[in-house]
Homo-oligomer: A and B are copies of this chain.
Amino acid sequence: MAKETASASTELKIKQAARKIFMQKGYAAARTRDIAEAAGINLALLNYYFRSKEKLFDIIMLENLQQFIEGIKEILNNRQTSLEQKTETIVTNYINLLTQQPDLPLFVLHELRTHPKEIISKIDRDKFIHRSYFMQQIKDAAKERKAASINPLHFLMNIISLTIFPFVASPIIQNIGGLNQQDFNALMEERKKLIPKWIKAIMQKK
């Protein structure tokens, strides 16, 4: 019992350390020694728990992806909320998440592209975004307006681009704007209100 508790907590420590190191360095540059050290345990123990660097990575990656998708699924399929409300919720949720973990999107996107494995199939294997009520709402909104209809993919790309990209490019943005971390976070806080407004303006434009 005491062993199991220790075991669980050790496993968790390793995973937390792994998440940190993997996100900082990327998979290839991350060293299992560093992960072990950051977890306050020995290298051999890491392999005892997770068998290999690759296996450990797969677990972290999967959890990250789930975290990314977690929540958004319900938001997109909520039949009670308007398109505007969904947009606002998505933007707010992601900005909150990424303010805590700014390295998350770049890490996921980079490993998704470079890693030979088919992690991508796990992202959206049931195509839930494509079939979501959200997508239906976009199509309907386009039909109902006299304005030229907007491709739902453009709409979706716009929301996530405006929300996520500033975090991905934050080193450059902070450099250009002469911003420290706090300034940058304040800017992102502003965007919680601004992006939904902008999206609305884009939709109304002919």
A interface, CB within 8 angstroms of B: 24-29, 103, 106, 109-110, 112-114, 120, 123-124, 127, 129-130, 151, 153-154, 156-158, 160-162, 164-166, 168-169, 171-173, 175-178, 187, 190-191, 194, 197-198, 200-202, 204-205
Contacts and interface: CB of A to CB of B under 8 A. Distances in A.
Nearest to A125: B175
A77 to B, nearest CB: 15
A106 B164 CA distance: 13
Contact of A201 (B153, B178, B205): B205
Given A26-B114, A160-B165, A168-B168, A177 B153 contact: yes
A155 to B, nearest CB: 11
A127 B176 contact: yes
Contacts of A190: 151, 154
A55 B185 CA distance: 35
Contacts of A197: 205
B28 A130 contact: no
Contact of A154 (B123, B156, B191): B191
B109 A168 contact: yes
A197 B205 CA distance: 8
Contact of A123 (B120, B124, B153, B172): B172
Contact of A202 (B120, B157, B201): B201
Contacts of A127: 176, 178
Given A176-B124, A198-B158, A151 B187 contact: yes
A65 to B, nearest CB: 10
